[in-house]
Amino acid sequence: MSDWIITDPSCNQQCRVIDNFRYEFKEDRLINPDTGEKEVYASTIDLHDYSQEEIMDNLTPFGYKKSGDLIHDCEGNEVPNQVIAECIFELKT
């Protein structure tokens, strides 16, 4: 298992790779805007738990598209599994 890496410093979102299909995420979530109180939200994303259709449903809001069996960004680059897992994590709440 890898070390935690920061994927979004604005909310202290971090990711740790378990293997090529499983990723652990955590981030600070604001639970009381009046006091600024935050709570850590954490989740493990296993890409095997999602169909291709479910994956695309989670990626479309971020501008990704499917071409053949691969998922591409707006410049046509293949999107890594970690980015796919991060999009799912961000929409899981």
Q: Determine the 3-state secondary structure of 11 from DSSP.
A: helix
pTM of the model: 0.85
Measured distance CA(41)–CA(38) in Å, rounded: 9
Residues 23-45 pLDDT 10s:
999 999 999 999 999 999 999 99
Per-residue tokens: 35: 């006091």
pLDDT class of 69 with cuts at 50, 70, 90? low
Burial of 81 (0-12, 13-18, 19+ CB in 10 A): middle
Measured distance CA(92)–CA(62) in Å, rounded: 14
Residue 93 sits at the vertex; the CA angle it makes with 77 and 58, to the nearest 5 degrees, is 25
